[in-house]
Amino acid sequence: MVTTKSLSPTDLLAAIFAELPDELCKDVIPTKTPWIHRTFFNLKNAYPDLLGSIPFDETDMFPYSPVIDEAIANLQIREDLQRKNPKLTTFDVNPETKGYLLRTNKLKLEQKSEVKKISHRLAEEIKKTQEKVPS
């Protein structure tokens, strides 16, 4: 298992969001709590090396993680994730956050590779939400 002792959950999520393709960084990422938690729960199961230590409570209507909740809140406070749309239904990734993975020295090379894979999978999940919205 890859350790992330020097990497907080907030920094890990920042790295994942920072690696999303540019077209998914503006007015596309859903802000709905159930979607976020289900998505990261599924990502945790697919990528246990980096996400396996994030706890989830599976006893409610959707898997919920206070760690994910806090990390998303921290990303908003840091302005890595922003809600700029009028209905506040989507996040934007701050352009200054892009490239985080290259700038941080908190991730080892194999961890950076894993973050890119997780980000790719997150992008697929985001695209699925776009397919459900009628034009």
- Taking the C-alpha atoms of residue 7 and residue 63, their distance in angstroms, rounded to an integer, is 23
53 close to 65: Cβ distance less than 8 angstroms = no
Mean pLDDT, residues 43-56: 95
**Which has the minimum average pLDDT: 1-10, 51-60, 97-106?**
1-10
Burial of 86 (0-12, 13-18, 19+ CB in 10 A): exposed
Could you report the per-residue pLDDT of 53-81, keeping only the tens digit for each? 999 999 989 999 999 999 999 999 999 99
The tokens describing 50, both together, are 């980096």
Asked if the model's pLDDT at residue 4 lies above 60, the reply is no
